[in-house]
Structure 1
Amino acid sequence: MLPATKGIFDRLSRRGRLMSKRACDRSGHVVRTGRFLFRTPTAWEYAAAVACGSDPAAQRWLGWQRDSIVARGARADALRVVPGTGPDWVSPDPQSIDLVMIDIEAGRCVGLVSVHTGEDGGPETGGYLAPDYRGRGIGRTLFATGLVLAHDHLGLPRVRAGAEVGNVASARSLQAAGLARVAGPPTYRLPDGRVTEAWWFEHAVPRVTRCAGPQATWFPATSAL
C-alpha cells in the first residue's frame, strides 16, 4: 500500500471506529440515543461543539470568557467539522467530563453536555445546542444524556443543574429530562464574571453504576455514595 493511500485508509478506519464505538473505555465515554451519538470529542469536534454555543443568543445565558468564544467569522468553518475526525483531545477543564452531541443522520456536531464541578463543589450538569437545533424539544435529550452520564457512567447518585431566571427554554428542557426544581443559592456567577439570578434543579437515583470510561475522581467521596 502506498504511504499516501495508507494515511487515508488509517484516517477513515479511525473515523469508522469512533463513529461505530458502542462501549466506554479508558479513552472516553459513549452514549447513543435515537439519532444522536454522544461521546468524548476529538479536538476538532470540541471546536465544533464550542462554536455551537458561541453565538450571542447562547452567550446571553452561558456567559463565557471572551477568549473561549469562537469568533463569528470562524464559526461556520468550525460547524462544518466532520464527526470522527481530528486528533485526540485533552479537556481544558480538569474537573469536567464533556460529551459532544452528534446528529448521525445529518453528519454534524450539534451541541455539548457535561458533568462538572458546581460552585458548591458538587456534581452539576449543563449543556447547549447549535442555533438550528434549539426550540425543537431536543434539549430534553441533551440533559437526559447528562443524567445518564452522571448516574450510569460516573456513579454519581445526585446531580444538579442551574438556569438563569428567565431562561424558560432551558428550565423546561431540564424538567422534561426529569430534573425537579429545588432550593438553591439565589445567584450564580457566570465564567465572564456576571452574577445572575438562578433557578436550580436536581435529579437523584437510589442506585448508580460506573463504566470503563474516565471517572470524575475529583468529587468528594459523599458525591459518589
Structure 2
Amino acid sequence: MRDRPPKPPRQERWDRRMETPLAVASLAYLTGYAVRVLGHHDLPQVWLDLCLAVTLASWAVFIADYGVRLRLSGLGPLRFVRTHLLDTVVLLLPLLRPVRMVTIYDRVQRRQEKPRLSLYARVMVYAGLTTTLLGFAGALTVYQYEVDAPGATIRTFGDAVWWACATLATVGYGDVSPVTTGGRVTAVGVMACGLALLGAVTGSFSSWLIQAFTREDEKRPPGESPGA
C-alpha cells in the first residue's frame, strides 16, 4: 500500500483552521438529526424543518472542506479519493458523519509533541468514542426506518439502542431486527464497523499484553524462572 503523500503547507494550515468548525458541524449534524428523528411525532413541523436545515448545512460544511482540501492537495480527484478513502466514505454515508469528531480529536492529539496517552491507550479511546458515536447514529438511523414500518420489531428508541449494542458487539440475539431495506442496509454497515472496531481493540490489547510480558522477561535476571 502506498503511503499518503505529505500535505502541502497550505493544506496543513487549512486543516488546523477547520478543526473547530468541523467539530461544531459534526455535533450540530448529530444533534439536528437526533432531534428530528426522536421528535418527529411530537415537535411542530417548523422545528423539524429547522433540524433538517441544520443537518443539511452541516453536511454542506463537510462538502466544502472536502472540496478545499482536494484543491489544496494538488492531487487529481481519483488519487485524492484513493489516499483519503475514509474521508470520502464519511462524507457520503450519513451514518458515519458524526465520527468526524473522532478524526478531529486525533488531529489535535497528533499536533502535540508528546501525546498525553500512549499508543495503545489512544487506540482504546478512539475505538470507544467511535463505537459510542456509531452506535448512537446507527440506532437513530434504524429507528427512523423501522418505527412506522409494518411488522417491525424495533418500535422504540430503546429497542434501537439495544439492537445497536448487540450488533456492534457481534452478538446478534435476534430478538429485535430490522425489516425494512433501509434498516437492513444500515445493519450491514454497523456489523462491518463493529467487526473492524472489535478487531482493532482486541489486536491492540493483545499487543500491549505481549509488550508488557516482554519487558518483564527482559528485566528478569538470566537463569531465573518466570515463577521464581
TM over 0.5, shorter chain: no
Q: TM-score, normalised by structure 1?
A: 0.27
Give 1 or 2: higher helix fraction. Answer: 2
Query: Higher relative CO (CA 8 A, sep ≥ 6), structure 1 or 2?
Result: 1
Give 1 or 2: higher strand fraction. Answer: 1
